[in-house]
Amino acid sequence: MPDREERVKVGDVAPAASVELQDQNGEPVRLSQLKGQNLVVYFYPADNTPGCTVEGREFRDLYDQFRAFDCEVLGVSPDSVASHREFAQNNRFPFRLLSDPTGEFAKAFGVWNERGRVSRTTFVLDRDLRVRRIFREVDPRGHAQQVLDFVRSIIESHRMLGG
């Protein structure tokens, strides 16, 4: 069996696209339903912790810029729908937080660690749900800007190539 860090690679189609998770409002979400737009899927360990709050707030503050590139942001952790609802409301997150209580989704992406927690990792997916970039061992502070810079570079290079 490959090392968990080797399961998903740049160029792969995102795994678990048909897995249904619930967002903070209890609404079902599948990656396959979001095909056709760029996606940022960021995995984080737990709601209401210092690093996860910083990371979420930075994605919140840059959310309009992500949307300008037709890019949706999704946060994923094992926390419950109710925990996500409170976390999203308290921090005014305009994006969805997906509840992955069994870790099935995180395991498919190879970010479920040996301690039974999610490793802080971000995947940038294109309109075909193909992995364009993986950010591993993320430092929460400044990470959202790094991701936005990458999304911007891909969109601008695509435009320059006549796409």
SS3 (DSSP) at 114: coil
Q: Dihedral of CA 146/70/19/129: which sign?
A: negative
Whose CA is closest to 77, among 47, 51, 121, 107?
47
β-strands 38-43, 121-125 pairing: antiparallel
> Is 52 a known active-site residue?
yes
- Among residues 14, 21, 31, 52, the one annotated as catalytic is 52
Whose CA is closest to 43, among 101, 118, 100?
118
Q: Give the active site residues.
A: 52
